[in-house]
Amino acid sequence: MHCTKPKSREKALILIRHEQSGRPYIEVYGESTLDCRIVTVPHVDTTRGEIVAEELVEHSLPVIYRDLLWPGKLRAQGVVALQRPSDVVDRYHRLQILRALDALERRLTTPRRRRPRRAR
């Protein structure tokens, strides 16, 4: 019987920093075998403009990247937002409150063990 080792997935870390101006600055981390391309889609305000902007990006990509621009190839997405130290502290406090509420709920909903009665 021949066992094949599962193919490991190539990993990448995409880090978004904000410049002093607030504009996002993107850094991509990965092994030297990782081939990356960062592309900016032009900003538009209409549905037709979005279609044209996506077509422009598609046609300006090198051929080897075009097969990646399909919904089934999307691996992650998110919104880029400026994150301040106060936002991190606020998130930490909200998580602490949620943990405390979870602990309280468990304490109130877990049945107590009955103590055996003492013989008189």
Summarize pLDDT for 79-107 with one digit per residue, the tens. Answer: 887 788 899 999 999 999 999 999 999 98
Domain containing 19 equals 12-109
Neighbours of 49 (CB within 10 A): 12
Please report whether residue 91 resides in a domain: yes
Give whole-number Cα distances, 95 to 25, 26, 68, 109, in Å: 28, 28, 37, 21
The token pair at 103 is 């602990």
Kindly report, residue by residue over 29-77, the tens digit of the pLDDT. 999 998 889 998 988 999 999 999 999 999 999 999 988 988 898 888 8
Please report whether residue 43 resides in a domain: yes
Give the total number of structural domains in the chain. 1
The answer to pTM > 0.75 is no
Please report whether residue 46 resides in a domain: yes
Please report whether residue 87 resides in a domain: yes
